[in-house]
Amino acid sequence: MSAESEASARLAVEKNGRDAGGVRAVTRSTRIITALAEHPYPLGIVELATFVQLSPASVHRILSTLVSVGWVEQNSRTAKYRLGMRAIGVGSVGLVTNPVLHDGRMYLARLAEWSGHDAVLSTLIGVKTVQLTRVAGPHTEMIEFEAGHPQPAHAMADGKLLLAYLPETEARYFYEVAGMRQYTPNTITDPARMEQELARIREQGYAVDNSERFDHGRGLAVPVLDVDGRPIAAMLSLGRIDPSQDSDIVQQMFTLAREMSERLSASGDLPPAAAGDGVSLPGAISTSGERSV
């Protein structure tokens, strides 16, 4: 190999190394931002290091950068960290301009009118489900809606649905690190039972919350899928739902979710599911209208 070829090869190796390091830094930064988003209280470096499974030194170094650009803020008295104003501003703009939410409200309105119950679009942030937009049903008994309020994923239909798509390593983190707090007598807190529940969701393609978060409310959730059959969001029906209505409501939700995906795809606005969101559910309905097998 000539000296020129050797130099070119060495530069290529160095560039690939820098690129890999840059991707790793971005990935770690998003893990930290996600951890801050899923917890309602500020976190210290040691707490964050446990949640994101990085060394405290690495977390401190990344936090310093995030603070400098306004994505994270530090309390001057407690030295703990929370999301910064720039992150909040970016998220707020997305709630107004994102086509998934903009178009989704039309389908939520149809679901709310048809079922009589609240209709919600939500996403998974860490191990919390975050409701992004809601249309109140005629029979709503819910408190005033506030976008961005996190709920425990293991106790909500939309959260369990999205958890069912997680890779095994992320599911293990959910059991071992985040824990499963009990909210009602029906809340699933045993990892073995939760694994059975997630397996059932993967088989049937939808999730049910039998008063697991709130004593007097139930939830049904189906996925809104990308072109590869992975979820970009969960569609949730929430309220005092009579179990005898579950089958009819779920079928209506499958239809609306499919129509929503098709509309977004036709306009070029259907995003791919985020990396690491797992695989297609065997029972889920694809954007073509067929159940995946």
Give the chain's length. Answer: 293
Lowest-confidence pick of 11-15, 22-26, 114-118, 179-183: 11-15
CB 167 within 8 A of CB 273: no
Provide the pLDDT for residue 179. Answer: 79
Indicate the pLDDT class of residue 110, thresholds 50, 70 and 90: very high
Instruction: Give the pLDDT confidence of 53-77 residue by residue, as tens digits.
Output: 899 999 999 999 999 999 999 999 9
Angle of helix 246-266 versus helix 99-115 axis, rounded to 10: 150
* Strand ranges in 28-94 using DSSP code E only, listed in sequence order: 72-74, 81-83
Indicate the pLDDT class of residue 169, thresholds 50, 70 and 90: confident
State yes or no: pLDDT of 24 exceeds 60: yes
Instruction: Give the pLDDT confidence of 246-291 residue by residue, as tens digits.
Output: 999 999 999 999 999 999 999 999 999 876 544 344 444 444 444 3
Q: What percent of the chain has pLDDT over 70?
A: 82
- pLDDT: is 140 or 285 the higher one? 140
**Which residues does 130 contact at the CB level (< 8 Å), separation at least 6?**
37, 122, 123, 124, 148, 149, 150, 151
Average pLDDT, the chain: 84
Helix (H, G, I), strand (E, B) or coil at 91: helix
d(CA 287, CA 260): 9
- pLDDT: is 116 or 278 the higher one? 116
CA distances to 6, 18, 20, 79 from 14, in Å: 12, 6, 10, 37
Which residue do the tokens 């039998």 mark?
210
Backbone angles phi, psi at 135, to 5 degrees: -120, 125
Indicate the pLDDT class of residue 226, thresholds 50, 70 and 90: very high
Q: Look up residue 78 and give its two tokens.
A: 């407690």
Provide the pLDDT for residue 137. Answer: 87
Provide the pLDDT for residue 145. Answer: 62
Prediction pTM value = 0.76
Q: Look up residue 260 and give its two tokens.
A: 């929503």
User: Using CB atoms within 10 A of its CB, is residue 76 exposed (0-12), middle (13-18) or buried (19+)?
Assistant: exposed
- pLDDT: is 215 or 3 the higher one? 215
Quick one: how far is CA 236 from the chain centroid? 13
d(CA 99, CA 105): 10
Strand 118-125 and strand 231-239: the pairing is antiparallel
